[in-house]
Amino acid sequence: MSLVEVEDFLWFVDQALAAMVGILRDLGDDGANRHADLPGANSPYAIVTHCLGVMEYWGGHVVAGRSIERDRDAEFTARGAVAPLADRVTRARVQLAADLAGLDPTAPPRGDVDDDDAAIPLGRSQGGAVLHILEELTQHLGQMEMTRDVLVASSRSDD
């Protein structure tokens, strides 16, 4: 069994990333850095920052074998302006395409994965890692959509 074509996979990635950037732009700098008044909630800005970390680690390190530095905890506390983050999304998408150019879906990862991940599909093969990227992007897009809805509703009730 083979994985879908890389170009087809990247089309779905593009859809998720475009929707995420759209949410950031709709919320603006202030709104993108707010989080819902719920325990453990993340801001849309932090969610996108985390997704960029996912793409870099799973695509760049696990699939392509690039050495990367990632501070996963810092992804969830990231704050900043929307425009530079949208630019980072564009650059990350270009890098992901380059990282997947040599994808061998059934081959083992080129980068190290921890023992827990190595025992499950996302860490056993390059194809599993790529599917995990899509899983994370779509899951977090849904989280951003709900977060946006809560933030918009709470700002209306504050009026």
Is 36 within a domain? no
Higher pLDDT, 154 or 94: 94
Residues 56-110 have pLDDT tens digits of 999 999 999 999 999 999 999 999 999 999 999 999 999 999 999 999 999 999 9
Q: Within a domain: residue 110?
A: yes
Domain membership of residue 118 (yes or no) is: yes
Domain that holds residue 63: 6-31+41-152
Q: How many domains is the chain partitioned into structurally? A: 1
More confident residue, 79 or 37: 79
Run of H or E residues at 118: helix 115-118
CATH code of residue 66:
1.20.120.450
Closest to 62 (Cα-Cα) out of 131, 113, 12? 113
Residue 48, both tokens: 């996108």
User: Is residue 1 assigned to a domain?
Assistant: no
> Does residue 158 lie in a domain region?
no
Nearest CA among 44, 55, 54 for reference residue 78: 44
Residue 77 domain flag:
yes
In a domain, 157, yes or no: no
